[in-house]
Amino acid sequence: MPIPTVRQLLHDALDAVLPQRCVVCGRFGAALHLDCRASLPRAQPPRCERCWSPGDRLLCDSCVTSAPAYAGLRAGYCFTGPVRRAILEAKFRGMTTLLPPLAAEAALSVPSAWAVDLVVPIPLHPNRQRQRGYNQAAIAAREVARVLGVPYGEPLRRVRATPAQAGLDALQRQRNIRGAFAAISGPGAPVVASFAGSVVLLVDDVSTTGATFAEVARALLDAGVARVYALSMARED
Ligand SMILES: [Zn+2]
Ligand SMILES: [Zn+2]
């Protein structure tokens, strides 16, 4: 377990004494009511089979011109309104209890034909993980692994800290993230032994252009993984 930050401890302490307020309706009683969860905006088809961008055709122009390194991407929700609020609360204000229900729902959009062997979170840079005390993608990925009944692993590390992707266009995102990840290999990397030839499902909180997934997928394919798929709790269309 990571060492909790002071902010995390304070949050947990307040959580214990204050009644929870629902991130969707604002009423007290739960961080996210069951009914309120059912009302959240889903990332419904029609969408590109590969990158899940909205559109009527089987593959979007971008995937026809240059296919991303991942073989398919799915998302549970649209990153708007209350979903956006919930994920930002989880990411920046320690409301991590919001993550498992959203991740469990997103996991249901994974096609069984993908035949995933291993669920892997997009890693945070160690410095950022130390500041935050947790990796929101890892919390989501553990829940996805549980729902799919597939092992969870962390065979990746972030070798370079990168500025946030927000506010960058597609090409800038690609450049910003290039070379930021590497598969852990060598002694002390137990997962890698069963790594070659496997099918990996990458999990992140939010996807936009899919540039991060594509970059990590490349690193995993270089390390001998057979195929990489991607799942985000929400997609920013
Ligand atoms: Zn509610
Ligand atoms: Zn596409």
Instruction: Domain of residue 181: give its range.
Output: 43-235
Span from the CA of 131 to the centroid of ligand 1 (angstroms): 30
Span from the CA of 39 to the centroid of ligand 1 (angstroms): 10
Q: Whole-model pTM?
A: 0.85
DSSP assigned state of 123: P
Is residue 164 domain-resident?
yes
Residue type, 151: P
* pLDDT digit string (tens) for the chain, length 237 residues: 556 677 767 666 666 666 788 999 999 988 899 999 999 999 999 999 999 999 999 999 999 999 999 999 999 999 999 999 999 999 998 999 999 999 999 999 999 999 999 999 998 888 888 999 999 999 999 999 999 999 998 888 777 777 777 777 887 877 777 777 777 654 444 444 457 789 999 999 999 989 999 999 998 888 888 999 999 999 999
Residues 6 or more apart in contact with residue 14 via CB below 8 angstroms: none
Is residue 29 domain-resident?
no
Q: What is the CATH number of the domain that holds 189?
A: 3.40.50.2020
Span from the CA of 86 to the centroid of ligand 1 (angstroms): 12
Report CA dihedral (56, 217, 40, 133) to the nearest 10 degrees: -160
Span from the CA of 26 to the centroid of ligand 2 (angstroms): 36
For 75: left if phi > 0, alpha if psi spans -120 to 50, otherwise beta; the answer is beta
Is residue 10 domain-resident?
no
Is residue 38 domain-resident?
no
Beta strand segments in the chain, E? 72-78, 118-121, 156-158, 181-183, 199-207, 227-235
Is residue 198 domain-resident?
yes
Span from the CA of 208 to the centroid of ligand 2 (angstroms): 12
Residues 232 and 205: their CA atoms lie apart, in Å, by 5
Span from the CA of 31 to the centroid of ligand 2 (angstroms): 34
Domain total in the chain: 1
Span from the CA of 12 to the centroid of ligand 1 (angstroms): 21
